[in-house]
Amino acid sequence: MKNFNFFQLLIGSFYNPEVYRDAVGNKKGSTFGYLFFLVVICTIPLMISIFTGMNTFLKDDGKFIIDQVPEITFSDGHASMKEASPYFIKTKEGNAIIAIDLSDSAQITELQGDTRLLLTRSKLIAQQKENETRTYDLSKVTNFTLNASKINFWLGYAWIVYILIFVCILICLYIYRLLQALVNGIFGLIISAIIKVNLDYTALLYISLVAITPVAILASVLWATDLNIPAKGWLGFILAIGYIGFGINANKPQPVSNLNEYYENELPPTQDPL
């Protein structure tokens, strides 16, 4: 049985029954390594899309917002600034997304309208989700100054954040795909029983790890291009189950139709004693 390399396995997973026999017969535990590199490849388009969007935002709308940030001094758990309160940071469309009210008798005490952040003298209120906010106490902030220049300086190290985002997404996607393969292996038991192919769960897991390739690549394309396909979750499930069935059928014992041909192909040639 042929040993396939990573790219042969990647491409062959779409159409070649040999790669599914190879996963069961030769690859064994190395199929988990294949899944890792598959996830890496599928994560790259997604990260390019995310980073491109973030860079575009920071150079345009983000810069417009950051340039409005006043110099705010935090001392002994209290915030202060030279600008009069309340102070609003707005988008190019004129929507106030950050409100700063550092007066002793704050006029603004909660998020209103499109506002996503509210800074008062002693606390920061941030919107986490729709209709859900979180309040942060500033009592432990003793000596700190925030301004537009400092924020722009921090953004110069955004590549570190990008690396962390990439690693986190990579780990999460690998765990997700691994769990998906484990569950699909259970469905493989049902399929193998229906089509009467005797394979244990370990073999079915190897098949599932390869069968997940078309699903992972399709999901990567959809995430990167932001295409909206109805019921794409069900589409991915059906596609995975279909390829698992394909892989199981590929491992069905092949009948020997011609005994002479079998001996010619599988047994070493005998030497003529004369």
Can you say whether the dihedral through the CA atoms of 22, 26, 29, 31 is positive or negative?
Answer: negative
Residues in CB range of 110: below 8 A, 6 or more apart: 118, 125, 133
User: Is 179 in the same domain as 228?
Assistant: yes
pLDDT of residue 72: 93
For residue 127, pLDDT beyond 50: yes
Distance CA 18, CA 9 (A): 9
109 vs 156, which has greater pLDDT?
156
pLDDT of residue 187: 93
| pLDDT bucket at 262, cuts 50 / 70 / 90 | very low
Would you say residue 272 lies in a domain? no
191 vs 254, which has greater pLDDT?
191
Q: What are the backbone dihedrals phi and psi of residue 102, each rounded to the nearest 5 degrees, phi first?
A: -105, 15
253 vs 20, which has greater pLDDT?
20
User: Is 139 in the same domain as 199?
Assistant: no
pLDDT of residue 263: 46
| pLDDT bucket at 156, cuts 50 / 70 / 90 | confident
Task: Kindly state the percentage of the chain with pLDDT values over 90.
Answer: 32
Average pLDDT estimate for 231-253: 87
Would you say residue 202 lies in a domain? yes
Angle formed by the axes of helices 158-194 and 30-59, to 10°?
A: 140
Low-confidence winner among 122-126, 220-224, 226-230, 266-270 (lowest mean pLDDT): 266-270
Would you say residue 136 lies in a domain? yes
User: Is 139 in the same domain as 195?
Assistant: no
> Domains in the chain: how many in total?
2
Low-confidence winner among 56-60, 65-69, 127-131, 158-162 (lowest mean pLDDT): 127-131
By residue count, the chain amounts to 274
User: Is 233 in the same domain as 99?
Assistant: no
User: Is 173 in the same domain as 256?
Assistant: yes
Least Cα distance to 34 among 212, 219, 223, 218 occurs for 212
pLDDT of residue 232: 72
Average pLDDT estimate for 94-111: 84
- Last residue in a domain, options 120, 146, 172: 146
Low-confidence winner among 10-14, 27-31, 75-79, 263-267 (lowest mean pLDDT): 263-267
Would you say residue 119 lies in a domain? yes
For residue 274, pLDDT beyond 80: no
User: Is 86 in the same domain as 179?
Assistant: no
Least Cα distance to 78 among 22, 110, 121 occurs for 121
Average pLDDT estimate for 98-109: 83
Reading the block at residue 75, the tokens are 């001392």
Starting at the edge strand that comes first in sequence, how are the strands of the sheet with 72-75 ordered? 78-81, 72-75, 143-146
pLDDT of residue 255: 64
Angle formed by the axes of helices 201-225 and 30-59, to 10°?
A: 10
Low-confidence winner among 71-85, 183-197, 199-213, 224-238 (lowest mean pLDDT): 224-238
| pLDDT bucket at 227, cuts 50 / 70 / 90 | confident
Would you say residue 63 lies in a domain? no
Q: Which domain does 116 fall in, by range?
A: 70-146
pLDDT of residue 171: 94
- Last residue in a domain, options 116, 146, 176: 146
